[in-house]
Chain A
Amino acid sequence: MTNPAIETNGLTKQYGELTALDALNLTVDRGEVYGFLGPNGAGKSTTIGLLMNYNKPTSGTARVLGLDPWTDVVDCHQQVGILPDRFDTYDDRSARRHIQLVADTKRADDDPVGLLERVGLGDAVDRPAREFSQGMEQRLALAMSLVGDPELLILDEPFTGLDPHGVALVRDVVESESERGTTVFFLSHVLGQVELVCDRVGILHHGQLVDEGTLSAFRERLDLAADATVEDVFVHLTDGAVDREETPR
């Protein structure tokens, strides 16, 4: 398949006067692990909202796995796994039922127990989600995103509420899914983790993609030290953006 996993052209979202996303042109190739970074309010969640048909764009186009995310919703979501940001699980339902709902709508025959064991919830399969800690909910959501072996895995702030074991688990999952050929679109502001898992990062600031590339390319181009982290790159680029805006002409 030649079409990219995600492709947006001039994707724009305005809420009244506020431009949350400003003509985003983004291409995520098949099979890569792409880290989408930006400070809070940069437009990361807006992008996900548009790509997942939570919200409709003001203008611009997008393709997810070659499909229109707003009209080909069923075919598109059939191949996409999502771990949303700021979600809530269903208090009264067991972990198993959460997985089963996704499996049944995706017509997938995943074994809920196997998936829950994979994310470390093997001993909580039949416990209601109201008893779960935030970290456990995050693990449950991760398991839900993996149902049906998606072509594209979208992880929105996947480290939220996770202890170091959970953080390592997310990294392992991203690595093994990537080895299977899954594209991973990874959103985070936890920069230290991003450089460990992502092939390429894009930096979003004030609703615009200010730069993208591999970490080593950033270091070279931005004239940063060889041990510069994503954090340094991030600060360098987003400060620059602020400066450009605030400098009087």
Chain B
Amino acid sequence: MSPLAGTRPRWLALAREEARGLLTAKGPWILAGLLVVWGYRPTYVGWQGLGPNQTVGFVQTVGSFLLPLGVLLLSYRSVVGERTSGSLKFVLGLPLTRSDILVGKVLGRSAGLAVPVSAAAVVLGIVGFVRFGIFSPLLFCGVLLATLLYVVTLVSIATAVSAVTTNTVRAAGAVFGGVYLFFTVFWTRFAELIYTFLGGPSTGSFSAPADGLFFALLRLSPGRAYRVLTNWLLGVGNSGAPYDAVITKLETPTSITIYTVESAFGGQTPPAYLHEISGLVVLLVWLVVPLGIARYQFQRGDLV
């Protein structure tokens, strides 16, 4: 035993097994392959806006739609699956608190998914470098870090749902119906409806209201928050839409149906809370709050 063994957190062993399980499974590597194919989308407008840094934009494309689907798919069973199979009885019998178990699950699975996702980004980086020349490595690392934060956040959300549901079907419904479809894929539409319901004028992206509340609502989606953050790093604009769409809207005469703070507010100064850093804040809230609520219930409840 190493002299440090007594100080290492006990959940580390659990996290290591979670990570190992993912890294030796096929699923995460199939996802990585699909992410490369999905992410490689050179566009004229992307080149026009970013030059060789368009390659970094590919990483954002990787992080949109397919990545959350894959990460949620590979995480929603993490607790409830063990609960229904009975292997949770071993984990619960270990000298770990229930909070330790959740922490080990989230960090272990995040590590096990961060590796294939990073590998996909690196492959895209190499392809982009060969095709379009040298890009900013610092920018690449920044967007990759943001993407990995998004991965941890998604794992945390899925684990939270997994910890408080009693069967896998319900967990799947909550994760795909609630988190993926509602909050990620169709959130823009729901945000418009909620805004109108709250008394705002009916909105369309051609007539975006110069209202901080509406834009704040929009970026409550983890997916849009991730893109607000990465669009900021890429320097294309203050928006939760894909980077190439933001460039199209702001840099070309073409008008397209997306929301950007710049186009909605025109010359006015938008409220300070719409600063792009809000994307980071929203991601951190999604990382901490659902898991915190789940922990509260997971600690008190009957698990077998």
Contacts and interface: CB of A to CB of B under 8 A. Distances in A.
A and B associate in one complex: yes
B304 interface: yes
A90 B20 CA distance: 12
A231 to B, nearest CB: 28
Nearest to A13: B302
**Size band of the A side of the interface?**
20 to 34
A92 B24 contact: yes
A101 B2 CA distance: 16
B1 A87 contact: no
Interface residues of B, number: 32
B89 A87 contact: yes
Contacts of A73: 95-98
Interface string A46-87: 000100111110000000000000000111111010101011
A74 B96 CA distance: 5
B94 A77 contact: yes
Nearest to A81: B93
Contacts of A93: 17, 21
Contacts of A52: 89, 92-93
A56 B87 CA distance: 19
Given A54-B302, A56-B301, A77-B95, A144 B90 contact: yes
Q: Which of A93, A105, A109 has the most CB of B within 10 A?
A: A105
A104 interface: yes
Given A75-B95, A87-B87, A56 B302 contact: yes
Nearest to B84: A88
B86 A88 contact: yes
Contacts of A141: 90
Contacts of A102: 90, 94
Contacts of B16: 104
A74 B95 contact: yes
Given A56-B302, A107-B6, A74 B21 contact: no
Contact of A105 (B95, B300, B301): B95
B14 interface: yes
Interface string B27-70: 00000000000000000000000000000000000000000000
Given A73-B95, A74-B96, A87-B87, A101 B17 contact: yes
A77 B86 contact: no
Interface string B1-28: 1000110001111101100110011000
A77 to B, nearest CB: 4
Given A55-B302, A87-B87, A88-B86, A106 B92 contact: no
A16 B12 CA distance: 37
Nearest to B92: A54
Contact of A92 (B12, B25, B89): B25
A106 B95 contact: yes
A76 B93 CA distance: 10
A127 interface: no
Contact of A54 (B6, B21, B304): B304
Given A56-B301, A88-B86, A92-B21, A74 B13 contact: no
A97 interface: yes
Contacts of A144: 90
Contacts of B20: 97
B303 interface: yes
Nearest to B82: A88
Contact of A104 (B13, B87, B93, B100): B13
Nearest to B93: A82
B96 A77 contact: yes
A87 B24 CA distance: 23
B268 interface: no
B85 interface: yes
Contacts of A107: 1, 5-6, 10
29 contacts: A53-B98, A54-B92, A54-B302, A55-B304, A56-B300, A73-B97, A74-B95, A74-B97, A75-B95, A77-B93, A77-B95, A77-B96, A82-B90, A84-B86, A84-B89, A84-B93, A86-B86, A87-B90, A88-B86, A90-B21, A90-B87, A97-B17, A98-B90, A101-B90, A104-B13, A105-B13, A106-B94, A109-B1, A144-B90
Interface of B: 1, 5-6, 10-14, 16-17, 20-21, 24-25, 85-87, 89-90, 92-98, 100, 300-304
Interface of A: 49, 52-56, 73-78, 80, 82, 84, 86-90, 92-93, 97-98, 100-102, 104-107, 109, 141, 144
